[in-house]
A = this chain, B = another copy of it.
Amino acid sequence: MSRADQPPHGDGPATGRRERARLRREEIILIAAGMFAERGYRGTSLADVAARAGISEPGLLHHFGNKAGLLLAVIERRDLDSEAFAMELLGMEPADRLRALPEFARRNRHRTELAKLFTVLVAESLEPDAPGHGHFVARYRAMRAIVADTIRSAQRAGLTRAGLDPEAKAAEIIATLDGLQTQWLLDPEAVDIVAAVEAYARTLERDLTGS
């Protein structure tokens, strides 16, 4: 087949069409993310997403193949935000990273939807055959590795006490932040997420320095 050939009209309009499709995709992903956050992946139908996006169900499936494809697109999109966060954190001195936690909590406070999306999708991905399972397993392993590396470099710099297991502490830190987030999402009137993370940052500072 002549698959390697460029289409004869591959100048302006073709690129514009692809660009338009990409923007439409992006738009649908944001709509789907909002609905997954509120009702979960299982609680959201393709028809719901299509209606909100002003598209037919077959049109929706043209972009994402099937419902799991839409989920993976949402997860990947959400990961771009997380990566930006990780890069920002890794750009700081290890000693400053701890102090940055409440700032991120403060930022997330106004993006409830992102936090909710994450909590809901992880719970729907616990089973090995869930569409997002492999992704979240890899994501948590990477998160633990990054935090453990930070702890190790802080130990080498003498900022953190040596008798502390970096891997175990990394799991514990991520667990606490996740758990506080869940309590806040469930009951925002009873749990002040910024104050809770600030208090935990102080706990953690004492714990890490051993003071």
Contact = CB atoms under 8 A, between A and B. Distances in A.
A88 interface: no
Number of this chain's copies in the assembly equals 2
Contacts of A38: 127
B125 A123 contact: no
Contacts of A39: 42, 127
Contact of A179 (B40, B175, B190): B175
B183 A171 contact: yes
A40 B123 contact: yes
Q: How large is the interface on A (under 10, 10 to 19, 20 to 34, 35 or more residues)?
A: 35 or more
Contact of A200 (B119, B144, B172, B206): B172
Interface string A104-147: 00000000000010011011111100000100110011001000
Contacts of A127: 38-39
B172 A175 contact: no
Contacts of A177: 175, 179
Contacts of A199: 165, 168-169, 172
A154 to B, nearest CB: 16
Contacts of A207: 203, 206-207
Contact of A168 (B124, B165, B174, B196): B196
Question: Counting chain B CB atoms within 10 Å of each CB, which of A141, A183, A191, A199 scores highest?
Answer: A183
A25 to B, nearest CB: 26
